[in-house]
């Protein structure tokens, strides 16, 4: 029988309690693999969440545009009721700000929403965003796939296919 420094007897069973180095390494490896898979999955969820926000933002702007149309009889563009030629999203924001509307920007600062009106009469519009992932809403009957006949902001693409995944709605 062995006796430790505190005078207690050590038997063979108490000396074997604990984990071996191999067991610890296996557990750490399993935890690392599971956390890596989890973090990879979260990346897809955040992209879909941003896409959902984009779709909601465009529907809100659509409401602002309808209110603008009710007041002015046309959609923002080149006319006396609008500010300038609306060459970009920030000019649309300025036009709608007169109505008290706060027009949102894309969740990623390097991306932009886009806007366009029918060339010449400003009686119909298209607003859109480039989604990050393929989305079933791209097949919706209200979703627009072409910008033909519209004066659009730079970079507008309503194509439903990769890499654009352009989501566009309008009047």
Of the candidates 97, 62, 63, the one whose C-alpha atom is nearest the C-alpha of residue 83 is 97
Q: Is the pLDDT of residue 167 over 60?
A: yes
Q: Where are the domains of the chain?
A: 20-170
pLDDT in tens, 74-132: 888 755 565 555 656 777 787 788 778 888 888 888 888 888 887 777 788 888 888 88
CA gap 112, 46 in Å, rounded: 18
């Amino acid at each position: 029988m062995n006796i430790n420094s505190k005078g207690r007897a050590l038997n063979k069973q108490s000396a074997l309690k604990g984990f071996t180095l191999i067991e610890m390494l296996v557990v750490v490896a399993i935890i690392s693999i599971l956390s890596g898979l989890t973090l990879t999955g979260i990346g897809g969820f955040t992209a879909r969440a941003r896409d959902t926000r984009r779709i909601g933002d465009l529907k809100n702007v659509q409401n602002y545009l309808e209110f603008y149309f009710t007041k002015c009889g046309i959609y923002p563009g080149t006319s006396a009721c609008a500010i300038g030629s609306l060459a970009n999203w920030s000019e649309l924001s300025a036009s709608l700000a007169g109505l008290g509307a706060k027009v949102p920007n894309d969740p990623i600062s390097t991306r932009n929403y886009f806007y366009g009106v029918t060339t010449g009469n400003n009686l119909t519009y298209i607003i859109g965003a480039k989604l990050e992932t393929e989305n079933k809403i791209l097949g919706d009957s209200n979703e627009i796939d072409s910008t033909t006949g519209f004066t659009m902001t730079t970079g507008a693409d309503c194509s439903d296919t990769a890499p654009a995944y352009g989501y566009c709605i309008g009047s």
